Structure 1
Amino acid sequence: MRRSFGWRAFAAVGGMATTFLLSVIVVRSLDLQEAAAFFAILASISLGPLVGRLGLGYNVIRLMGAESDALRRRQIAATHLHATALLSVLSAPFIALIGCVALIGHSDFLPVMVMTALLIAVESTRLILSDIFAATGRVRASVATMHYARNMAALPLVALVVLIAHRPSLLAVIATYCAVSATQVVIALVHARHEVSIFRFSSGVATLRTTIGQGTKLFSLDFSEFMLRQGMVWLATAAFSSLAATQFSATATLATQVTLLDSLFALAVAPTAARLWAAGQKSRVIRILSDAATMNTLIAIVVLTVVATLGPFVLEVAYGPDMRTASSLLLILTAAGAFQACFDGSITLLVISGNITAASRTAVAVLAVALPCACVAAWMGGPIALAVVVLASIATKSICMWLVARKVVGVAPCAHLNPIRAFRQLTSDRDDVAETRATA
């Protein structure tokens, strides 16, 4: 687990930096319509793998983490990979169309939509491979197949395309993304041949039948997270002017980076927590999740402080004077990450303990209230009102998940006031030894 935290922390730093630089390049080089469309397409690229994997990312980590037989693990991995490929191919065109709505009437609408659909299908396959690598303990392979690595590889190529093009276009940027992601998936498939029976389509069908219902419930967790974050970019694109939509979309994309470490810590912890929970070491699982929440919360507070003090200056220097007024949006949306960091370890606990239905119902209930409120806020209150609704919705979901975990499990992880102890325990050798014993 110590190696996992180290590699994922490196990926988080690189991912945040490259996402920021890519957004700067897009805003400064493309016109407002294409820039707003780019952020909407990024949102669709996030939603596409959620639909394509249908919650099977969580499921493959949970099932493979608790399975001791190597052949059985390969069958589980193959089933989830094949299901993801099929679902993503079927759903990608529809999700791409939603992401490209802002380009309707644009000369590049059709080729951009086709490229986006292809990118969504490729991204879904890449992400399930990353989950499979995480479940088998191949930390570096899991990190290398995440979108942070894709962004780091795409940044210099996108910058080169923008520099040499007479008129930089959104189509060129998306095509570059697609080429990088496809290369990443091909390499990942080669390295995954020992973990998954890629070409044995008959293996593991029974496993899929018994777990697809759980996968659907797990999908609701991913979908609610998406709609409360990237989904609001679609709403902003539909409700606001090109400038206001670009401001909201750019700040929402930047604010989402605060949750990167939260997601990375969850991925680092989940396989270990699943193995320890299956081995009956429940108190150790709670401690690990609480320590991870503590480190996440500390980082979120530091980032929030930096945004509050330097946000206006950084936005103006990076994006231009028109973006300075978006600093309030960035501060509000970033604050939501602190609530997620503190309480979202409860989601991991609910999943690995088998209380998937309780987590799913909570996520759906919060989303059912949040979406109408967001629509009213966008059309009647503007960007600031929408940002406040996003903050309140995310905070409500995180706190409700914590309360539900306390009710159904009896205890729930939460951030504590000793980050030094949390760091030492997360990076100690004892957890690596415990994990090894749990899998023996």
Structure 2
Amino acid sequence: MLRLDSTQSDFTERLTALLAFETAQDPAVDQAVADICAGVKTRGDAAVLEYTARFDRLPAASMADLTLGRDALQAAFERLPADLSSALLQAEARVRRYHEKQLMTSWSYEEDDGTLLGQQVTAIDRVGIYVPGGKAAYPSSVLMNAVPARVAGVGEIIMVVPTPGGERNDLVLAAAYISGVDKVFTIGGAQAVAALAYGTDSVPQVDKITGPGNAWVAAAKRRVFGVVGIDMVAGPSEILVVCDGSTDPDWIAMDLFSQAEHDEIAQAILLCPSSEYLDRVAASIERLLPTMPRRDIISASLGGRGALIAVRDLDEACAIANTIAPEHLELSVADPEAWLPRLRHAGAIFMGRYTSESLGDYCAGPNHVLPTSRTARFASPLGVYDFQKRTSLIRVSRAGAQQLGRIASVLAHGEGLTAHARSAELRLDAPD
């Protein structure tokens, strides 16, 4: 695992190289995705069936074979062992309770002349959520996408999830059941995104698509943006740990593993003022790694994009953290709240030694769909507000039209837009 020291003369250059991730779409993938999206747009269900048979090794006679309604989702929930169903219900309740705090409401105010101004908040009519399948099953992703949509009041939630070889995961389907998903299609990849965006005879067109996926899914979401809304184009998972050197090094090693096990190109970084502590964490990594079922993925991630970085002090650690702008930031220090004012850019901040990032992934409450690849500098976690939209309200009184009309007339003439000006002027001194 790479070792860096902030006192090195070339530290900034080496950190920049470490953080570099090519977000530009592979031209070959982009072209293939363009062809798939065009096929689904023109041939609908037939194209979805063809691509699902080819990419997921899942031949189907019709889309009905790839469609699951509420009854099938309930059956999956009822098949779960008691401990799994209980954990799923508890996680859903915590996620729902947190997101209920985010609900925006409509508001308005009336000026002295009777002019009313305000904002009307409404839910999106229909959303599609993409849940990854393949390397791992992610019931938590179902909760994090579907629950805020349901809390927001979305009229219909459609879920797509790839089932390579036809293998369905009951935990994923059960999560869809308890979080209020209306219908599931067992399709994935670019063809699923295109089906949601354009609609087919079987898959209803949605207004927004949320949820993470691989490079093909990301390319498809880029391509259909504008036809539908999207949440974000997610990059590889990231964790940054800022530690004062007093946390059990085994805990920190496992926290780094928790994101590294997602993908070979995930990123795990530790910042600490103590080089001796970094040595202890490195020893923990070496000892614990052979015990991990996904050790090959973890090893590739830590070796390719991970780092243990010695810093001068926690002040500098916070400054570097703001540069990294990580998806997940663990603040494993004695007094985490004291350092919050120094931290401006992170998808989520996990405060204190007992707050492992994995708790946020599953059941703490806040959403685990977070900005990656330094986009936390300007982006936010997925939330209820992503499933609501705002409409401005304007009701101008006769008295208000006299004042506003004169202002608008001057500005419109200044822009050379005579019809705009005349539209306002016609209402000046108009009879009741």
TM range, smaller chain = under 0.3
Structure with larger Rg: 2
- Tell me the TM-score normalized by structure 2: 0.23
- Tell me the TM-score normalized by structure 1: 0.22
